[in-house]
Amino acid sequence: MASIEISPDEALALRARHAEVLHRPLYRRLMAPLLVVGAAAYLVFCFFFFNVAGVFANAQWERAGIYIADWYSWEATPRFRFAKDGIEVEWTRSLLGDNPNPDWIEGGKDNYVVSFGGADNQVEISPGIVVVVESGRRYDIPISESGAELSPDAPANMSLKGGRVTVDYGFIGLAEIRNTQVLVRHRYLGWPNFFFDTKSPFFGKDLGQLWADASSPERIEARMPNWQLIIVEFLYNSEWQHLDVFMKLLETIVMAFVGTLFAALVAFPLSFVAARNINPNRVGNWLTKRAFDLLRSVDMLIWALFFVRGFGPGPIPGIAAIFFTDTGTLGKTTTEALENVDDRQREGIRSVGASPANVQRYGVVPQVAPVFISQSLYFWESNTRSATIIGAVGAGGIGLKLIEAMRTNQDWENVAYMVLLILVVVFVFDNISNALRSRLIGRSGH
């Protein structure tokens, strides 16, 4: 920046005129840097308080990769067991149907070749010896009673641990060679069983075939027409449980909707009791306000856990928890809005001889209604989110299902599916609430 020349006299005059700008007291000047230093010191303290270094040293980051990969892909995990007569192939949790015969496994009886994307990367399995081909080079891995052995010139993606040799081919999968079996993990993008599980008659069919099935009069199962069967098979997919997920999501939505609506219905009249300028009874004011404070400050979690104990898991405790907390919060904000209303409107209504009820109806309600509606809609929106979390402690809905899916540590793809649905629902309800808000109180409202 170009400097501006000013004479010493001008400088002094400026300094005298704007003393408060140029000569701030020391503590004011030091405030910002001190705050930053304080925050940094606090973070350092918390680094030790939460033992961050120790926790991170023991973290199992490789799990993160697997879990994230599960969000968009699945693994086929065949085991090749060394039996007396040749090799037995065993499939667990396979999505390839009852008779899996994928093109990446060739051979049979006592010699299998498992390919990981071409002849340059494959594993040849035969009793006693496994040949690993990695980037075109062959490595022999002899297997004895004590375990598999790794040749010393093996590349970095092959490792030996406790008599097991692991060959990692990256995203496409890995092979783990033990003395009794070879475990292969082969990863596919997407899930073939998303719409129909492997036991369903529609598994693996494309849209055209499904249409042909749906329109053909020949029933696959006698009890219902084919188009119904398609819907039933989709909803009762044993792995993805679409119907259950939808129902749980609906429970969450219902929890937020009913809880907020009841809270609004109860908080609105109660806040008239609590407002000092409307209800002259000071005891009534005080009691209602403290009741709001109690409802609000005892956390939503505490209410949720209490009601879960009382009513058993499900949406009722969720509704009750949201209702209790939000009655407090909505009551408090509405009381504040009521105490700040413009008194002239009420005077005007009173001066034409209106009854006390009409004074409130036409003199007060129109002033607080926009704030109240806007607040209620905002709470509805935010409760759709919090209903997920309190669901996880037993209050039902998608939260409970999410936490159950996460606990198994195997169903991260279901977690991803539910997260996606939750995001969609939250966005949809954000937009509904925004649209309602602008319709009911106009764009200018907050």
Partner 1 sequence: MATLDQGGLTDAGRVVHDHYRALVRTRRVYTILSLAALLAVLLGALWFANAANSGKFFERLPYFFDFFIHFQPDDAMEIVRALFDLPSPHADGSFKYDYEVGRVYLIGDLYLPEYFYQMLVTINIAVVSTLMGFVLAFGLCFFAASNITGSRLVRFAARRGFEVLRAFPEIVVAGMLVAILSIGPIAAIAAVALHTVGALGKLFFEVVENADMKPDEGLRAVGGSWLERVRYGLVPQVMPNFISYALLRTEINVRASTIIGAVGSGGIGEVFRLSIGRDHAAKTYAIIILLFVTVVSIDWLSGYLRKRLVGQSAFQFGG
By beta-carbon proximity to partner 1, the closer residue of 41 and 83 is: 41
Question: What is the closest distance, in whole angstroms, from the C-beta atom of residue 14 to partner 1 in the complex?
Answer: 17
Question: What is the closest distance, in whole angstroms, from the C-beta atom of residue 118 to partner 1 in the complex?
Answer: 33
By beta-carbon proximity to partner 1, the closer residue of 126 and 329 is: 329
By beta-carbon proximity to partner 1, the closer residue of 67 and 104 is: 67
In angstroms, what is the C-alpha Rg of the chain? 34
How far apart (Å, rounded) are the C-alpha atoms in residues 205 and 210? Answer: 6
Paired tokens of 379: 């709470």
By beta-carbon proximity to partner 1, the closer residue of 63 and 137 is: 63
Question: What is the closest distance, in whole angstroms, from the C-beta atom of residue 444 to partner 1 in the complex?
Answer: 14
By beta-carbon proximity to partner 1, the closer residue of 262 and 272 is: 262
Identify the CA nearest to 267 among candidates 334, 322, 348: 334
- Torsion 97-103-104-106 (CA) sign: positive
- Torsion 332-333-334-337 (CA) sign: positive
Q: Measured between alpha carbons, how far apart are the two ends of the chain, in Å?
A: 41
How far apart (Å, rounded) are the C-alpha atoms in residues 113 and 134? Answer: 13
How far apart (Å, rounded) are the C-alpha atoms in residues 181 and 143? Answer: 10
By beta-carbon proximity to partner 1, the closer residue of 291 and 389 is: 389
Question: What is the closest distance, in whole angstroms, from the C-beta atom of residue 78 to partner 1 in the complex?
Answer: 25
Identify the CA nearest to 272 among candidates 259, 283, 284: 284
Question: What is the closest distance, in whole angstroms, from the C-beta atom of residue 367 to partner 1 in the complex?
Answer: 19
Task: Return residues touching partner 1 (CB under 8 A).
Answer: 1, 39, 42-43, 46, 49-50, 52, 55-56, 58-61, 63-64, 67, 247, 250-251, 254-255, 257-258, 261, 293-294, 297-302, 305-307, 309-317, 319, 385, 388-390, 392-393, 396, 399, 402-403, 406, 409, 415, 419, 422-423, 426-427, 430
Identify the CA nearest to 397 among candidates 378, 425, 374: 425
Question: What is the closest distance, in whole angstroms, from the C-beta atom of residue 222 to partner 1 in the complex?
Answer: 30
Place of tokens 């109180």: 441
